[in-house]
Amino acid sequence: MDIMKKNRALVMAMAAVMGLSLSASAFAEETVANKDKPLVWFNRQPSNSSTGELDMTALNFNENTYYVGFDANQGAELQGTMVLDYIQSNIDTIDRNGDGVIGYVLAIGDIGHNDSIARTRGVRKALGTGVDKDGEINSDPIGTNTDGSATIVQDGSIEVDGTTYVVRELASQEMKNSAGATWDAATAGNAIGTWSSSFGDQIDVVVSNNDGMGMSMFNAWSKDNQVPTFGYDANSDAVAAIAEGYGGTISQHADVQAYLTLRVLRNALDGVDIDTGIGTADEAGNVLTDDVYVYNEEERSYYALNVAVTAENYQDFTDSTVVYEPVSNQLDEAEHPRKSVWLNIYNAADNFLGSTYQPLLQKYDDLLNLDVEYIGGDGQTESNITNRLGNPSQYDAFAINMVKTDNAASYTSLLSQ
């Protein structure tokens, strides 16, 4: 008899002596192999960092595996349109040196992250600066292009009230620090310092793949120089900065994503239909409507939908850590007993994940009766995180945010042992 069976037999015998009746299912939890436990990937979708192709092996690791993120293309299009709308509505003042060229600089988060790639493309598409590469807009950084000679981008043009302006991507760069961390806000702050000192009067707009980098550039330069700066994420500090001239941001509905991240685990642990409390109301009344998320079954992925946040509506987004009201009802612990979850954040210093996503997760974990252990990585090395998944048997489920989207196997191999 193996040790598990021996223990079970012993407890059964004790229970019988004590007059209790225990069913075999009371032990189910002990016997679930790590490879069969619910697993959710979030924020970094398992995919090839060069081609963007989804890693379906990781997404189908077991029957309770999902990805939770947001619709990167819809968000990217919104971001591009938001910038374009701003330029069009402020055409009289936007061209600071009056040379007829609307110049912008672009902070790129991570050249191998599909969210970052989509945002770069969305901005270039809306502004007419994108150049086709293998059927898609090239998303590579250009370095500098003050004279418009770059081949990765082209000059765009917009016509407002009968006048045609050139739109030029003056510079773009992946904001990666020397240790290898991407989406690095400090690097963006330094970059705007370098750019502004060599061609500052040509910069009319600052665009960033996220608010962490956007705010760093805003605080370092664009706020004082009144240059509109656009980010992504709707972190609370960025939303507040709209009152001070930050141009706008995009909410990726982190309040919905954080809920979905833990909810799919809860449902799998409860053995109920995966749609419970998502498209179908649960007994506590939690339910999402289809204007805030989509589920793509083939991709095993839930995608929250994005909303633009500008001077017109920012008052509704001032606190990015408030739970989404339609899914804010406490689950009954008798029906949904406490379970333990191992969850990591790829970089403890990431602005969005640290200041918006994790505080939301910490609110939902209470509502969903999940005891979550939060692990913060260094943003550079996968092993810094996987080293802390030494004993997966201790947990009932896993939520993973990889450093690199190609690295799913570093985690699944630990769960398969």
Q: Which is nearer to ligand BGC, 110 or 365 (CB)?
A: 110
Instruction: Report the distance separating Cα 107 and Cα 165, nearest Å.
Output: 23
**Does residue 174 touch ligand BGC according to CB under 6 A?**
no
**Does residue 382 touch ligand BGC according to CB under 6 A?**
no
Output the DSSP codes for 229-266.
Answer: EE-SS--HHHHHHGGGTEEEEEE--HHHHHHHHHHHHH
Q: Which is nearer to ligand BGC, 44 or 253 (CB)?
A: 44
**Does residue 183 touch ligand BGC according to CB under 6 A?**
yes
Interface stretch with ligand BGC, choices 80-88, 91-99, 348-356, 370-378 (CB under 6 A): 348-356
Q: What amino acid occupies position 298?
A: E
Strand-pair category, 301-304 with 293-296: antiparallel
Q: Which is nearer to ligand BGC, 234 or 274 (CB)?
A: 234
* Residue in 103, 130, 156, 212 binding ligand BGC, rule: CB under 6 A: 212
Q: Which is nearer to ligand BGC, 95 or 233 (CB)?
A: 233
* Residue in 232, 246, 259, 324 binding ligand BGC, rule: CB under 6 A: 232
287: exposed, middle or buried (Cβ count in 10 Å: 0-12, 13-18, 19+): middle
CB 415 within 8 A of CB 39: yes
**Does residue 77 touch ligand BGC according to CB under 6 A?**
no
* Residue in 255, 350, 382, 396 binding ligand BGC, rule: CB under 6 A: 350
Distances (CA, A) of 82 to 8, 65, 232, 378: 61, 35, 11, 32
* Least spacing, CB of residue 86 vs ligand BGC, in Å: 20
Instruction: Report the distance separating Cα 66 and Cα 42, nearest Å.
Output: 8
**Does residue 352 touch ligand BGC according to CB under 6 A?**
yes
Interface stretch with ligand BGC, choices 90-98, 158-166, 189-197, 346-354 (CB under 6 A): 346-354
Instruction: Report the distance separating Cα 344 and Cα 37, nearest Å.
Output: 16
Tell me the backbone φ, ψ of residue 250, rounded to 5 degrees. Answer: -120, 130
* Least spacing, CB of residue 183 vs ligand BGC, in Å: 4
**Does residue 115 touch ligand BGC according to CB under 6 A?**
yes
* Least spacing, CB of residue 109 vs ligand BGC, in Å: 6
The β-bridge partners of 186 are none
36 conformational bin, left if phi > 0, alpha if psi -120 to 50, beta if neither: alpha
* Residue in 55, 71, 184, 233 binding ligand BGC, rule: CB under 6 A: 233
* Least spacing, CB of residue 32 vs ligand BGC, in Å: 29
Q: Using CB under 6 A, list all residues that contact ligand BGC.
A: 43-44, 109, 115, 183, 210, 212, 232-233, 350, 352-353
